[in-house]
Amino acid sequence: MMRYSKTLELPSSLRLLTVAILAVLSLLLMSPTNALQVAVIGTTGNIARETVELLSKSGIQTRCLLRHDINSVDFTLKSPTSNSSSKEVAAYLNDLPNVEMIMGDITDKQSVNDLVQGCDAIMALQGPPKPNPITTLIPFLSDPSSKTHPYMISYIGIKNIIEAINAMNDTSGVKPHIIRVTGKGEDPFSIFSILINMLGNMAKGWNYEGEILLRKSGLDYTIIRPGLLNGDYQEQKKSKNVERQRN
């Protein structure tokens, strides 16, 4: 087993596209050809959208897990804007070449099993939405079994991916490479993380637990930690951590 770790120092002015490029480069480096099929989870998020665009332009067959029914969406813009809904983003991506939408949810085992079939890599770009701080402080108002809870997205979701890959019927013996874009890798037990966790349904804690699942899975993976991201791209940290493991 070999683990490769590297820290990349990048200017804070770079956009989310930088993270998408890092993810795609990580994918391309594992194979000398572009004859790949990739699964993308978290399809309508900012990072995933730009990643899917880049995969499409690279001629890579891309299967996107999608929770939204886009059959009735009338989207005519050349590209989504900051005001576009998730359904509109999905409709835009669905029209790109080399892109296929697979209906399902990361929290549903069968959905993930269907998604990963025939894929060479899984891009796990999903993340939970920002919770209501009031409900997170009152335990009985925060349901860990909710599909949007960090436990379901960042832990059960990763668990479902690992189990789906291990259950694949592939006579070649080659398992898909998992690319996970996650948090900044802070100590989940630091005072700062504990305070943030109290207001965010233990989001950092479940990110941490999801990473542990990857490390113990025995599968090839790359973890990309882009740091703090927002629409203005002004709050990004300079330290970009990339962790890779091949077995």
Each residue of 211-240: pLDDT tens digit? 999 999 999 888 887 654 444 433 443 444
Other Cβ atoms within 10 Å of 100 Cβ, number: 12
Each residue of 16-70: pLDDT tens digit? 656 666 666 666 666 555 568 999 999 988 888 888 988 898 888 999 999 888 8
Model confidence, pTM = 0.79
Each residue of 117-157: pLDDT tens digit? 999 899 999 988 776 666 665 655 667 778 888 889 999 99
- The reported pLDDT for the residue numbered 214 is 92
Most confident listed range (35-39, 73-77, 152-156, 241-245): 152-156
Distances (CA, A) of 238 to 8, 203, 229, 233: 8, 22, 11, 12
